[in-house]
Structure 1
């Protein structure tokens, strides 16, 4: 794409962004504009995901706590999704796994924690969008409701945060993004007590849907982010995890 074409597209998007903002200001006044911005907070430098065993979920009835363990995974994923290419803020995921009373493998989801990550170029995809607070854009992964750590399956939604976007604006709002994560190589045991295992994983086969519930900017935002995107997407990360059996938890 030529520099001239990029500039023209950026300018047209700025105009599309400006129209609904002006209308909102006329209808609701300056106070309403500021209230809409409450959904967005600039990512803090060096933000890290919460870790520890405080999110360990309750166990199913009838299982042996000594044979179930609570696992806490931490990672800093690299994400390419449509036109988004960024290193996400660190995430921490907690779940429990162990044998069910009938001998089958059991799992219980715990929690996912992360912080917003600024999207370069902001809402417009231009240098101004990356530096003007009103045009800022951040992305934050959230649990999508499905997980299977035995097979590497995980679903996520990606919340989009900006002063100009509604609180429920997200990629995967109706149907989450489904990942089938594969290991990049063997795991490495860093420590035995406490147990710490490192591994690398990726998925380059997932489909990325368009943003939803983003108000008047839904269409322009989808075009800005290159979504939906059926191919060319990548999630990769180096991760580590630790665990405790439930009979050793506080």
Structure 2
């Protein structure tokens, strides 16, 4: 889930940055249970793993893949009595790092032109 911040200005070292929070659901967990919060989200610095390719020219759709293999993994919060068990089983909040890979397709539309 969107964590309140994104920056997709790419340069030689990154595709962009993204703040997320991951909702965790299951029996015995509170509805508010998440990894990362709105005030302290998971911060990803995305690296290209697949070059951008054009899927369609009209409408313009591009595809690419990114990953972050070194982001800090916070503990799950607001999970109720099972929170400590969840953190222990998944190794959350202990100063370790996580890894995530994302595939994206993005539709682009010019603004200020008639369609």
Q: TM-score range by the shorter chain?
A: 0.7 to 0.9
Q: Which of 57, 62, 67 is equivalent to 1:192?
A: 57
Q: Which of 70, 73, 76 is equivalent to 1:208?
A: 73
Taking the TM superposition and a 5 Å limit, the aligned residue runs for 1:172-183 are 172-173=36-37, 174-183=39-48
Separation (CA, whole Å) in 1 of partners of 2:95 and 2:30: 25
Superposed CA offset, 1:189-235 (max 9, x none): 12211111111111111011011111111211111221125445211
1:160 aligns with 2:24: yes
Taking the TM superposition and a 5 Å limit, the aligned residue runs for 1:238-249 are 238-247=103-112
Distance change in 2, residues 1:195/1:221 (3 Å): same
- State the match for 1:146 in structure 2: 5
- State the match for 1:117 in structure 2: none
Query: What TM-score do the two structures reach when normalised by structure 1?
Result: 0.40
Query: What TM-score do the two structures reach when normalised by structure 2?
Result: 0.82
Runs of 4 or more consecutive aligned structure 1 residues displaced over 4 Å after TM superposition:
none
Q: For structure 2, list consecutive stretches of 5 or more residues without a partner in the other structure.
A: 11-15
Separation (CA, whole Å) in 1 of partners of 2:5 and 2:77: 20
Taking the TM superposition and a 5 Å limit, the aligned residue runs for 1:79-118 are none
Separation (CA, whole Å) in 2 of partners of 1:144 and 1:238: 19
- State the match for 2:102 in structure 1: 237
The Cα shift of 1:167 comes to: 1.5
Q: For structure 1, list consecutive stretches of 5 or more residues without a partner in the other structure.
A: 1-141
Which structure dedicates a bigger proportion of its chain to strand?
2
| Number of residue pairs aligned between Structure 1 and Structure 2 | 109
The Cα shift of 1:246 comes to: 3.1
What is the aligned-residue RMSD (CA, Å)? 2.0
